[in-house]
A and B are shown apart, each in its own frame.
Chain A
């Protein structure tokens, strides 16, 4: 059978709280691990977008996407390989302020990682880094010796290289309903 591949599933939906439950149930029922999950407003008003990352075979991901798309409140669902998308994750790092002044090396780490300093207080400072997993991970490892007070990473956000055509789907619907 086909190989396990990392897929990004993108879902456009009506803004409906109950849908979250429905979508996660589709994965739960089949014992599929969700590697990352994020939701946000999409480019269209009142249309939500889910981005879900999974490791699956192509045959299985296709079936999952069909099950997702079958949900009444889902407008359209897609799956893409990493090569077909532009994707990023964001991470925040909270570090003791004393180390910023006492350890000169830490300033080099921040500079080389192209991270941004978000805030500095007398007690702590916060760095933000957006990029690929290995980049945010490297920064985490590099900062660890200096006393990382908190670390958090967001789910993957991603846009596809190919168009998704959601506006067309919605326009078609509106036109049909005018007829």
Chain B
């Protein structure tokens, strides 16, 4: 019945038809007064559109994000007006800073009530403006098709991001002639700047002259679906490549030119050598302060080549000697044909040397501990063992996140889902639900701290209801560990409000009829992980780890990447 001319439908039905036109078959949300007409249509269209009732609107946004990150499609979240809409804000901000394509639909009070402080009226357009790529309030049903089409186009094109569409209740009830046309462009908006071959040529010249070049790649490689081009570029140029936390999994962990993570808790070699390379090739990354440390001492010796889709990122934090604007899939393709085959054995040997140092000082103790207590690192190593590096790893925020990203192994892209730019505790549990629904055939393991777990623990209800087979690992140190680490290092061990008396997590999981187990001893770990991975149902595993372990290496805030500490 699509695009039937002269067929009068309600705005609410139009919203659903727009979603179907955009290929959406799954939405996350929570109903309420101002969005009831749309929910009524969700009921009628339930054979074509699966609605997942999360237990909090924040969960709906994170689930939509997780879905977007593993499927590469636009995630959709819905909420009612007022508190429903404001509960979306954290997830929207997270999606904005991590460039995740998402469309949020909120109900709004009837248009004649706007501005009257009506029941559950909030100015969600005003509130969400700084954290959306675009937003719009619909007050007439006739606007729905065009605005919805534009919303999806903007969310997914160029540098992706969240879009919020607020729809007044009267517009949801209003009848009109529905007619849908997909959006193919917005005249004030250029999603992808055209590739300039002179920029490519100049950058290629710099690369071909380099003696000690280094690549840092970010999520742009994944968002641009440029993994193959990226791998080909790395292999042809022979240049060692390091990743930002959001770039993780775009190149397999065991690739010989993958030299590890940059940034605050990244690897020793790539951080130190950032300040020794002569050409730094940044691919789809934005020089976040957690990556660069002190900018005035960051890569000053290097010529910087920056492949970037967003012109506003060029020279924002680090001056780009050779910017290459465009989609990195195209820019990399162009670069590959202009760069020479390279071999940098001596230079790469330096990475190896630093890796050895880091192994002896840090990694060995993290993964093969000799002390009694369990470490987070050995838990991750055990997960690697049973997933073969083929799982989607969803992480929350804190020590466990850094440890998981440092040690988890990956063999395919779109396998790392984490809250990077915003660092949102509570992200992982709902994001894992979405991640699994976006990649149903894959194993999805959420790795969460005891603190962050309790920020969105109610989403166990969503798992219970939908039976989505996510594996939940809580690395329990009974502390807000990352903050405790800083208190230890920078606040003379004054552990202000970071110790937590935790409930019995296994009992809680069982209350939701989720199979659950607790591990406190090394001997039990592998078997428990194996049982969890082999289960085809949701599974909860609590690993009680050392309370006061720290994450190293570490670049203290404001320090130079050269000042990275191993202890």
Footprint of B on A, CB under 8 Å? 13-14, 18, 21-22, 25, 29, 62-63, 66-67, 69-70, 72-75, 170, 173-174, 176-177
| CB contacts between A and B, total, < 8 Å | 49
Interchain CA distance A176-B191 in the complex, whole Å: 14
Show 23 A/B contacts (Cβ-Cβ < 8 Å), sorted by A: A14-B187, A18-B125, A18-B135, A18-B136, A18-B137, A21-B126, A21-B129, A22-B129, A25-B129, A25-B130, A62-B315, A63-B312, A63-B315, A67-B312, A69-B312, A72-B154, A72-B189, A75-B188, A173-B185, A174-B187, A176-B185, A177-B184, A177-B185
Residues of A near B315 (CB, < 8 A) are 62-63
Residues of B near A25 (CB, < 8 A) are 129-130
Q: Does B134 contact A (CB under 8 A)?
A: yes
Interchain CA distance A49-B136 in the complex, whole Å: 20
Q: Does B400 contact A (CB under 8 A)?
A: no
Interchain CA distance A74-B137 in the complex, whole Å: 18
Residues of A near B316 (CB, < 8 A) are 63, 66
Is B188 within 8 A of A70, CB to CB?
A: no
Binary per-residue interface labels of chain B (75-118) against chain A in the complex, 1 for a CB within 8 Å, 0 otherwise? 00000000000000000000000000000000000000000000
Interchain CA distance A136-B306 in the complex, whole Å: 48
- Return the contact of B188 from the options A13, A62, A177 (Cβ within 8 A): A13
Q: Does B511 contact A (CB under 8 A)?
A: no
Least Cβ distance of A168 to chain B in Å? 12
Q: Does B265 contact A (CB under 8 A)?
A: no
Is A74 within 8 A of B312, CB to CB?
A: no
Best-buried of A14, A70, A75 by chain B (most CB within 10 Å): A70
Residues of B near A70 (CB, < 8 A) are 310-312
Binary per-residue interface labels of chain B (184-197) against chain A in the complex, 1 for a CB within 8 Å, 0 otherwise? 11111100000000
Residues of A near B125 (CB, < 8 A) are 18, 21
Q: Does B133 contact A (CB under 8 A)?
A: yes
Best-buried of B129, B154, B186 by chain A (most CB within 10 Å): B129
Interchain CA distance A63-B319 in the complex, whole Å: 12
Is B312 within 8 A of A75, CB to CB?
A: no
Interchain CA distance A18-B188 in the complex, whole Å: 15
Is B187 within 8 A of A173, CB to CB?
A: yes
Residues of A near B186 (CB, < 8 A) are 72
Interchain CA distance A18-B166 in the complex, whole Å: 13
Interchain CA distance A98-B134 in the complex, whole Å: 55
Cβ-closest chain A residue relative to B316? A63
- Return the contact of A72 from the options B126, B134, B137, B314 (Cβ within 8 A): B134
Least Cβ distance of B421 to chain A in Å? 15
Is B312 within 8 A of A73, CB to CB?
A: no
Check A66/B312 contact, CB under 8 A, given A18-B129, A75-B188: yes
Least Cβ distance of A10 to chain B in Å? 15
Residues of B near A73 (CB, < 8 A) are 134, 188-189
Is B311 within 8 A of A29, CB to CB?
A: no
- Return the contact of B311 from the options A13, A66, A170 (Cβ within 8 A): A66
Residues of A near B134 (CB, < 8 A) are 72-73
Residues of A near B311 (CB, < 8 A) are 66, 69-70
Is B188 within 8 A of A14, CB to CB?
A: yes
Interchain CA distance A147-B185 in the complex, whole Å: 57
Binary per-residue interface labels of chain B (126-167) against chain A in the complex, 1 for a CB within 8 Å, 0 otherwise? 100110011111000000000000000010000000000000
Q: Which of chain B's residues 293-343 have a Cβ closer than 8 Å to chain A?
A: 310-312, 314-316
Cβ-closest chain B residue relative to A14? B188
Is A72 within 8 A of B188, CB to CB?
A: yes
Residues of A near B185 (CB, < 8 A) are 173, 176-177
7 nearest interchain CB pairs? A66-B312, A75-B188, A173-B187, A70-B312, A72-B134, A72-B189, A25-B130
Cβ-closest chain A residue relative to B189? A72
Residues of A near B184 (CB, < 8 A) are 177
Cβ-closest chain B residue relative to A76? B188
Least Cβ distance of A87 to chain B in Å? 25
A13-B188, A18-B125, A72-B188 given; name 18 further pairs at CB < 8 Å.
A22-B129, A25-B130, A63-B312, A63-B315, A66-B316, A67-B312, A70-B311, A70-B312, A72-B133, A72-B134, A72-B186, A72-B189, A73-B134, A73-B188, A75-B188, A174-B187, A176-B185, A177-B185
Residues of B near A18 (CB, < 8 A) are 125, 129, 135-137
Residues of B near A22 (CB, < 8 A) are 129-130
Interchain CA distance A18-B314 in the complex, whole Å: 26
Interchain CA distance A17-B126 in the complex, whole Å: 11
Least Cβ distance of B266 to chain A in Å? 26
Interchain CA distance A55-B135 in the complex, whole Å: 30
Least Cβ distance of B290 to chain A in Å? 19
Residues of B near A173 (CB, < 8 A) are 185, 187
Check A75/B187 contact, CB under 8 A, given A18-B136, A66-B311, A66-B312: yes
Cβ-closest chain A residue relative to B163? A72
Cβ-closest chain A residue relative to B153? A72
Binary per-residue interface labels of chain B (463-484) against chain A in the complex, 1 for a CB within 8 Å, 0 otherwise? 0000000000000000000000
Residues of A near B133 (CB, < 8 A) are 72
Residues of A near B136 (CB, < 8 A) are 18
Least Cβ distance of B464 to chain A in Å? 39
Interchain CA distance A75-B185 in the complex, whole Å: 13
Cβ-closest chain A residue relative to B132? A22
Q: Which of chain B's residues 170-204 have a Cβ closer than 8 Å to chain A?
A: 184-189
Interchain CA distance A73-B310 in the complex, whole Å: 15
Check A29/B130 contact, CB under 8 A, given A18-B135, A66-B316: yes
Interchain CA distance A33-B187 in the complex, whole Å: 30
